[in-house]
A and B are shown apart, each in its own frame.
Chain A
Amino acid sequence: MYFNTGPIYLIVGIVIATVCAQAIFFLVKAYREGLRIGMTKETLNKAVVSSAVFSVLPSTGILATMFGLIKYLGIPFSWLRLSVIGSLMYELTAADAAAQQATGKALSSAEITPEIFVTIAIVMSVGIILGEILCIIGLKKYSEILKKPRNKTAADINADNERVGPETWNASDFKTSETVAKKKKADLGEIGGVVTAAVFIALCGAYIGGAIGEAFGGFHIDSYTSVIPFISMLVSVGCMAILYHMQKKRAWLKSFSLSISMLVGMVSAVPASLVLGTIFGA
């Protein structure tokens, strides 16, 4: 296929290598600074090893979801998208939206021509950059605001100023009382949680509706094949329900619940279509 060729591997490889270089750069800088401020090598190594070990399982979970992407986008581009910021749900939403707008058909039934592929690739790449833009324009300022301590005495602040540098803060900045700030923060967190849940429920709901509509749209069933996505959605929801309750006792399952449910749901399409095909004919 055109999207699995050497030059595309090369392009993607360069980007992934750069991202790794950034990780190594920050790792070395932070490690050295840690040593310099008196942290022990043992502590720093502990952070490296525990984080590396901790990441193995969830990373394998991400690798498993790659099957959801490579059929449409090929191996190298899926590799890139799942290695950098983004997630399977984001990538699939972006790909589906681009396919629908470009062809009038859903991603699963659209023919991915090179033109459509490039359109999807741009939507995916540009649609997720807000976080990075915010880092460039606002992270310095935001972290300075966060570092301003509350309820400190002027003497403390002056001492801090001497230690860290002159331009960071001054006594008049500390009018807000700690409790008010905490309450505000809790409210913001609460409403943020509600908004995020509402947005994601809508996103999932639209796809759940799509599967229901394909099966029963217009109050009739077109053919047995149109019911299969609905069945596989039910299987995946059922699987998630089971895993969700299991993961309360087995925390490691958390990294896999979504990938396992998705894969079980997808694979259930095979027996479903074989069984329904035998009963209702092609």
Chain B
Amino acid sequence: MDDLQFRRQAYGDPNNQSDDFLAHLAENEDDAKFVKDLKAFDQKLTQALKIDVPEDLADKLLLRQQLNLHQQTKKRGRYMMAMAASVAFVVGVSFSMLRFTPVNLSENSLAHVHHETKALIMEQDIGFNDVNFKLASIKGLSDSKFIKQPGRVFYTAYCDFQGVKSLHLVMADELGNKVTLFIVPAENRVVLEEAFADNQYKGQSFQTADAYMVLVGEPASDLDFVKKEVENTFI
């Protein structure tokens, strides 16, 4: 290690612990003394840098942070309130939209039949008492019931006509063609069409004392037969 390099290292960091540097110090007494002086000088410098710190600085720092935190929480509280309010608003608006839009029974019925294809595959044999049990839990239909078995019932389930809980039955006509029957409790916003059809199914609907009946079946099926059956058994 030459002298220039040594001085550079010594001035750069008198506490240098590298092997080169320490070896150099061990060999050169004068340089060792020089480094010792530099270390003493560093001590002085370090002392000089230690200016007084305001006594309450740490407390001030903590206080400032606490105040800041408090403000943030307050702001977040307001934000949460605003969020809750707007969510409530949206829920309210969409709920009332849902409740007051007219329900087109025929369109909905066709959609249901297309959608629930599995209903037409079911081969259960459900007694009219089970159907009555289901009817009883529908609001607006709790007094209605079948007084006897309306032919074979293959399938029954609740379904939803835009917010109106209804009953979905699969029955059969004279020749065994499956016919879907929807029993919908009477509601002001329901729009009824007596006969309707699309390219796969035809349908008709009629009204009883407190329910709308919608029948949907394939074009070959005899809807009138089922209609009579229902009229005779449902009160």
User: Do A and B actually bind?
Assistant: no
